[in-house]
């Protein structure tokens, strides 16, 4: 399938597909008459790329992860470490947001109880 067909069928932005092509990560993508043709394994990799973008990986981290993925099982620990790092960062963000909510709730509570000194 062409880049436009892949973009439409799987709701993958053209920019992501072009970025994927520029990395040269998959041997399965075949270039025919100036356009790329994607097979099912490409779509699986693109799904992983979209997931990595969705969870907040930078373009550089996505590329690094995908390069490791193409090297196989031997890179599993490094990829897991990248995911753990992102997970820990996300948890830190959640805890920070929880503290913000506590402070907001305190201010709302104080205001509702006519404590105008706040």
Return the residue matching tokens 């990560």: 25
Please report which confidence band the pLDDT of residue 109 belongs to, taking 50, 70 and 90 as the band edges: very high
Domain boundaries, the chain: 1-71, 74-118
Summarize the confidence of residues 32-48 as an average pLDDT: 76
Whole-prediction pTM: 0.72
Of the options 1.10.10.10, 1.10.1660.10, 3.30.230.10, 3.30.1540.10, the CATH number for the domain spanning 1-71: 1.10.1660.10
């Amino acid at each position: 399938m062409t880049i436009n067909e892949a973009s439409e069928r799987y709701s993958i932005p053209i920019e992501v597909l072009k970025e994927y092509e520029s990395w040269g990560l998959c041997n399965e993508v075949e270039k025919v008459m100036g356009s790329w043709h994607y097979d099912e394994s490409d779509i699986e990799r693109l799904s992983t790329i979209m997931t990595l973008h969705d969870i907040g990986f930078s373009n550089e981290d996505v590329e690094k992860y995908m390069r490791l993925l193409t090297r196989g099982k031997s890179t599993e620990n490094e990829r897991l470490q990248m995911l753990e790092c992102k997970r820990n960062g996300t948890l830190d963000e959640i805890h920070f947001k929880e503290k913000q909510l506590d402070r907001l709730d305190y201010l709302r509570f104080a205001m509702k109880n006519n404590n105008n000194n706040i």
